[in-house]
Structure 1
């Protein structure tokens, strides 16, 4: 088995593996007290990761079935990773043959602050390609399927914005740590937000079913082992009638667009370990929303005022485009390209970037009365978006008002934008000067 998958499992269940090592140590030496077991787990954890671990309580027994329970576990960090309880149930017959085979591991109430988890990047020894996950004293060995089932409840991820999201789930394993079945769901989300994977017999290919936002996002996922010990994950998915507001609310976010979308999604990630794999995820989704509503922007008002505009709504018959997402160390960059919107009032096209909740983009709006390509700059944040004209477009709008009030403002803005591009101007939007009066005009 290639070491990227070993690292992947270590990242998911480091405490689990240390607990297995503690049980093997128990069975191969003597029968220690619960306190000695807790001390042994803490010592092994710190030796591997260089970070202290407090174990509030430990309990183990060999009869009627081997079991180890650790409770009130916490890393020694400014904002600790905490675990209320982890239970490991081993197979007695295998243990009597000096083979470690875990029947089930259950994790309860694990809290993972992002900044604390980052401290584990690159920690501990890097196992060789054929090295086992756990170093066992001879003549002990791991079973072909060392772990049958992993189950977790209330595993909470706290992101850099301090948003806490809880997840439940379980994984049934085949040999070589391949998930036979897996389920992950956002605890308490309504409508449900859940993922299910089912392995196609003997292949590194999984049927993928996602329920979210009252719709589906189904398809196929693949795992591939690449040269240089890299792991590649890819997927081809088809979102169908996914409610945008329901989707983002399930993950503690807000959106400025309402409606249900369908389309096509591709996903690719390549890395040598779990953390880097997650950060490398790139997705591309072509989407269509029919109908759609911009819930915090009035584009028609923005064109009419030729200035900064906030608030309002824009109903649309259709909104289409492509969304690219790329994971980074500081969050997910979202790029919308080829955006096209139409309604009975206007049509629009443009591009938009969203990163750390900040908006940056441009939209050209065509009104039904024949005004073509009025340029708007999109800025602000997701909670308070705004549209305005760029500096050159504002100057053109002032000229247009002087020549022809009303629609002349929009035409002038378009001319001003083209002049701005021609001469390479790149300045922030500013208030346009008032039009000069003709010579001899009354004061």
Structure 2
């Protein structure tokens, strides 16, 4: 009796295995090969974006842990978007209901030039009603800004069931002291806005605050927020983003931010910040103001300790990169004091100010304009310092006070690097 039961068990098991194998083979007959799926994805991408896509390799599987893995993909553009690896981990059962629930999407080694990304914006909207993303993980994602400076980021974003971010963590890999953002969803306000707690580590300092995200009556996303940067080292922060700093010192103050757009991308592109900042232990690097003035500009090597430095910095994302405006700039260094305002936009500088010497006994108006890598400085005739004062003031105080502090993460490009890229233009003699 026991032998017969074992025999029937073996027969049933074998039959089930045969049925399973047959069903699997039949299913495989309707499933695409790796190459077929790669070509389908290329065609779908081009139909959605208008840009051609080339996939180097693609592998996928359903057994075990379902995964679709794409290797060495790039767009066909003058400056292509390149991705070393993308791995998509879907849930299996929702696929049977024609719904794509992605437990984890991994992106590694992506290179994203700004102009290439901009070309994808006019794409037809994707109907994502049946697509749910739970978690996005990216490593060494390099974004090249309008200024042509590549900066790498790594991070992770987790999403709630309503598809809003639950937690956002982003950091600059390999940077010490660390530069990192941690935004965590934390309830709602009385008017229904979603609250996010913001914690930043930046160049030995911190910035804590809160942001509110709400959907407006016309369906737009609106973001507002406040931050309180504390003891952020200016030179170290600029170095972390491959920018050159003209000053050092620890910045503190308050920052307000605001953005609005129909999509997440439009929201980011509309970001506006306003920061009121003071700098402790400030110092103008590579220039000694006193030596420059007394030698009429012949000798300016050294540094200039600042007794005080403060100002207001406003940034606005635009189609042509970030526009940065500095106002109410005030600096004191011994018997010298300076005030002024400046704008940096599309790699160009426009500024005006006044240098007071000997406690205000001599006031020297100055102005500057032109490419940030080599602006033209103008100064009032008959001043004791000539063009040297203009050279000292704008790079040392006007340009550097607020670049990259409190959300202004898009300072002027490295001047020396730009000189290597393009032939230098002769500088006009001072008037």
Partner of 2:323: 333
| Aligned mates of 2:55, 2:82 — CA distance in 1 | 10
Among 157, 161, 172, the alignment partner of 1:175 is 161
Partner of 1:92: 92
> Following superposition of structure 1 onto structure 2, how do residues 169-208 of structure 1 map, counting pairs within 5 Å?
169-201=155-187, 204-208=194-198
Following superposition, the deviation at residue 92 of structure 1 comes to: 2.7
Deviations 1:258-300 (A, max 9, x none): 1111000011112223443333221110000112112244444
Q: Contact between 1:350 and 1:363, CA under 8 Å: does it hold in 2? A: yes
Following superposition, the deviation at residue 200 of structure 1 comes to: 0.5
Partner of 1:133: 128
> Following superposition of structure 1 onto structure 2, how do residues 37-436 of structure 1 map, counting pairs within 5 Å?
37-96=37-96, 98-124=98-124, 126=125, 132-133=127-128, 141-142=130-131, 146-201=132-187, 204-301=194-291, 304=294, 312-368=302-358, 371-378=361-368, 388-389=378-379, 393-394=380-381, 396-397=382-383
| Aligned mates of 2:258, 2:371 — CA distance in 1 | 28
Q: Contact between 1:311 and 1:386, CA under 8 Å: does it hold in 2? A: no
CA 1:175–1:113 in 2, change beyond 3 Å: closer, same or farther? Answer: same
- Report the secondary structure of 2:43's partner residue: helix
List alignment gaps of at least 5 residues for structure 1: 1-25, 135-140, 411-427, 433-443
CA 1:307–1:274 in 2, change beyond 3 Å: closer, same or farther? Answer: same
Following superposition, the deviation at residue 41 of structure 1 comes to: 0.7
| Aligned mates of 1:119, 1:113 — CA distance in 2 | 10
Deviations 1:60-119 (A, max 9, x none): 111113211111211122222111111111223434555432211111111111221121
CA 1:357–1:302 in 2, change beyond 3 Å: closer, same or farther? Answer: farther
Q: Contact between 1:306 and 1:388, CA under 8 Å: does it hold in 2? A: no
| Aligned mates of 2:365, 2:121 — CA distance in 1 | 45
Deviations 1:103-161 (A, max 9, x none): 1111111111122112112112x46xxxx415xxxxxx55xxx2221111111112234
Deviations 1:391-441 (A, max 9, x none): xx20x54xxx8xxxx9xxx9xxxxxxxxxxxxxxxxx99756xxxxxxxxx
| Aligned mates of 2:51, 2:220 — CA distance in 1 | 27
Q: Contact between 2:69 and 2:87, CA under 8 Å: does it hold in 1? A: yes
Comparing 74-83 with 210-219, greater Cα deviation is found at: 74-83
Q: Contact between 2:289 and 2:300, CA under 8 Å: does it hold in 1? A: no
| Aligned mates of 1:58, 1:430 — CA distance in 2 | 61
Following superposition, the deviation at residue 189 of structure 1 comes to: 1.4
| Aligned mates of 1:201, 1:187 — CA distance in 2 | 30
Comparing 311-320 with 64-73, greater Cα deviation is found at: 311-320
Following superposition, the deviation at residue 311 of structure 1 comes to: 5.8
- Report the secondary structure of 1:229's partner residue: coil
Q: Contact between 1:153 and 1:167, CA under 8 Å: does it hold in 2? A: yes
CA 1:233–1:346 in 2, change beyond 3 Å: closer, same or farther? Answer: same
Q: Contact between 1:70 and 1:85, CA under 8 Å: does it hold in 2? A: yes
- Report the secondary structure of 1:44's partner residue: helix
Q: Contact between 2:377 and 2:430, CA under 8 Å: does it hold in 1? A: no
TM-score, normalisation: structure 2: 0.76
Q: Contact between 1:183 and 1:197, CA under 8 Å: does it hold in 2? A: yes
CA 1:83–1:222 in 2, change beyond 3 Å: closer, same or farther? Answer: same
- Report the secondary structure of 1:248's partner residue: helix
Following superposition, the deviation at residue 357 of structure 1 comes to: 4.8
- Report the secondary structure of 1:32's partner residue: coil
Comparing 346-355 with 293-302, greater Cα deviation is found at: 293-302
| Aligned mates of 2:230, 2:374 — CA distance in 1 | 29
Q: Contact between 2:356 and 2:364, CA under 8 Å: does it hold in 1? A: yes
| Aligned mates of 2:100, 2:52 — CA distance in 1 | 26
Following superposition, the deviation at residue 221 of structure 1 comes to: 1.4
CA 1:309–1:348 in 2, change beyond 3 Å: closer, same or farther? Answer: farther
Following superposition, the deviation at residue 218 of structure 1 comes to: 1.4
- Report the secondary structure of 1:200's partner residue: strand
